Structure 1
Amino acid sequence: MRRFEGYAVMVTGAARGIGAATARRFAAEGARVAVTDVDPREAEKAVAGIREQGGAARAFTCDVGSRDSVEAAVAATVEEFGRLDVLVNNAYACAPDAALFEDEPDEVWARDLDITLTGAYRCCRAALPHLVASGRGAIVSVGSVNGLQDYGNHAYSAAKAGLGSLTRTLAGHAGPRGVRVNLVAPGTVRTPAWSGRDAALDAVSGLYPLGRVGEPEDIAAAVTFLASSDAAWITGVTLPVDGGLTSTNRGFRAQLQ
């Protein structure tokens, strides 16, 4: 299936994990992909993997915390590929919570919101004129179940909830201009962020109705669906991709048995 022949796609935070899997999936379906990340060496490794599989990709440095960096990455993508059809906002920051909420430093709160929420805003702002010009533009942001329910991480969760709100408001603004805007909300996904914590992943697997945590490819499949013409009449939605986690409370149910 080659749903993205002739498309140019930009993915942020694409060097590892969900971002890298998403870039691979777009490339496998025919897109030319801008693999952007704050770590240029890792971005180049991701591009090499895509090219080994016959895909088309270029690596660009992009710090979503900097307006100049974002605008330069978008401009470089358009210069390289001649257009931009899809933006995937995947970059994020997530710092551990302090033991007590009142001990949370301002700097931690500010960074999580700046990278996760304001970073996506910067990317949408820079990309939108090009997405409008493409005639088939789409934005897909990677949120989290943390933006829907309580799973800890105050600042990160607030930022992901804000990303869901931005998705809705931007969908209303951009829809008449021909651009769709949607969000996927993953549950626990086996990414490098969980490196060395296999026991924790095994422990939470039983909380998922489908009996496992997610893989990056699970999220990539949902992102590419929402970006494709298969979702041509879908905009402004938050799609949980969470193995059923937010549909039920298995821990509560187990206590009643």
Structure 2
Amino acid sequence: MTDTTRFADYGVVVTGAARGIGAATARRFAQEGARVLVTDVDGAEAEQTAAALRDDGLMAQALACDVADRASVEAAVAHAARAFGSLDVLVNSAARCTPDTPLFEDGSDEAWADDLDITLTGPYRCCRAALPHLAATGRGAIVNIGSVNGVQDFGNHAYSAAKAGLGSLTRTLAGHAAARGVRVNLVAPGTVRTSAWEGRDAELDAVCPLYPLGRVGEPEDIAAAVTFLASRDAAWITGTTLTVDGGLTAVNTGFHGGTRGRGSA
């Protein structure tokens, strides 16, 4: 059961929040008392998500925000701080993942640059704009949405490089921001059932046995981890990566299944 007061009087910005992990995270914060700005490059979808929260009696606004554009990011942060009276939490969920070309050498500079710009430089822009506001509250927190792609090979060269970079940015910014009273952490999800997998249920079913816990993740699994790291329950945690992946990166289920427990590597 959620604590409906854990984030009372908090102002929260979530990027990429029109759907999937971002939308579930915005809902979880709002359910726990926060005033949430739902941002997304698709402003109409962001408004639909915020409207659904308001229909449930929760406090949410929406604003179109393109994390690839510095002015757009700064406008969103300023709007939240003004509308809510403070900005206490930033969640960087917006990302871009371009499918790999069959041959690495056929990849384009444009696709590489676009993935890095949205997935890595976008959070950099958001953190840069939000940090003074977060520092002013005395309880500020940044939670970045990374990926297991940032720590192991699951394909998607540019996206994986960007997520690995986001892990590094999380650590370096945590070191800088600690003296200003701001904590910075990262959640690294495994496969999560979002709209990106729409119509691909057979593929999701096929990967379930690779997960020690026997299933892929749901957006709510990630939202629960994000809100924990943003809360005072995590007051002595900064610069860390919390892997939320059903045991995928801890246990080699394929190896275990192949050896049937008869031997070691």
| TM bracket (short chain) | over 0.9
Partners of 1:76 and 1:180 lie apart in 2 by 22
Measured in 2, the distance between the counterparts of 1:64 and 1:197 equals 28
After superposition, give the CA deviation of every residue in 1:171-219 in whole Å (9 maximum; x if it has no partner).
Answer: 0000010000000000000000111110000000010000000000000
Distance 1:172 1:8 in 2: 23
1:19-39 deviations in Å (ceiling 9; x for gaps) = 000000000000000000000
The separation in 2 between residues aligned to 1:225 and 1:84, in whole angstroms, is 17
Say which of 29, 36, 48 aligns to 1:33.
Answer: 36
TM-score normalized by structure 2? Answer: 0.96
- Matching residue of 2:60: 57
State the TM-score, normalizing by the size of structure 1. 0.99
Provide the rounded CA distance (Å) in 1 between the counterparts of 2:101 and 2:61: 39
Of 204, 209, 223 in structure 2, the residue corresponding to residue 206 of structure 1 is: 209
**Aligned residues, how many?**
257
Equivalent in 151, 156, 169 of residue 154 of structure 2: 151
Q: Does 2:140 correspond to 1:137? A: yes
SS in 2 for 1:58: strand
Residues in 1 aligned to 2:175 and 2:187: alpha-carbon distance in whole angstroms: 18
Q: Which residue of 1 aligns with 2:101?
A: 98
- Which digits, 9 at most, give the CA deviation of each residue in 1:28-77, with x for residues without a partner? 00000000000011001101111122110000110000001100111111
Whichever residue aligns with residue 53 of structure 1, its letter is D
Which one-letter code corresponds to 1:136 in the other structure? R
In 2: Cα distance, 1:160 partner to 1:195 partner: 23
Q: Whole-Å Cα distance in 1 between the matches of residues 42 and 204 of structure 2?
A: 26
Q: Does 1:68 align with 2:71?
A: yes
Matched residue, 2:118 = 115
- Structure 2 partner of 1:182: 185
Counterpart of 2:215 in structure 1: which amino acid? R
Please report how far the alpha carbon of residue 82 of structure 1 lies from its aligned counterpart in structure 2 after TM superposition.
1.3
Question: 2: CA distance between counterparts of 1:89 and 1:166?
Answer: 12
Amino acid at match of 1:28: Q
Question: Residue 174 of structure 2 is aligned with which of 168, 171, 174?
Answer: 171
CA distance in 2, matches of 1:22, 1:185: 14
Deviates more, 1:246-255 or 1:187-196: 246-255
C-alpha separation between the residues in 2 aligned to 1:86 and 1:183?
Answer: 13
| Partner residue in 2 for 1:219 | 222
2-side partners of 1:80 and 1:136: how far apart? 18
**How many percent identity over aligned positions?**
74
For 1:231, which of 210, 214, 234 is the aligned residue? Answer: 234
Distance of 2:84 and 2:225 partners within structure 1? 24
Name the SS of the counterpart of 2:249 in structure 1: helix
The code of the aligned residue for 1:223 comes to: V
Residue of structure 2 in register with 1:126 after alignment: 129
- Tell me, yes or no, if structure 1 residue 48 matches structure 2 residue 27: no
1:247 maps to 250
- Quick one: which amino acid aligns to residue 179 of structure 1? V
How large is the RMSD of aligned CA atoms in angstroms? 0.5
Q: Whole-Å Cα distance in 2 between the matches of residues 30 and 49 of structure 1?
A: 16
**How far does the alpha carbon of each residue in 1:207-245 deviate from its partner, in whole angstroms, 9 at most, with x for none?**
000000000000000000000000000000000000000
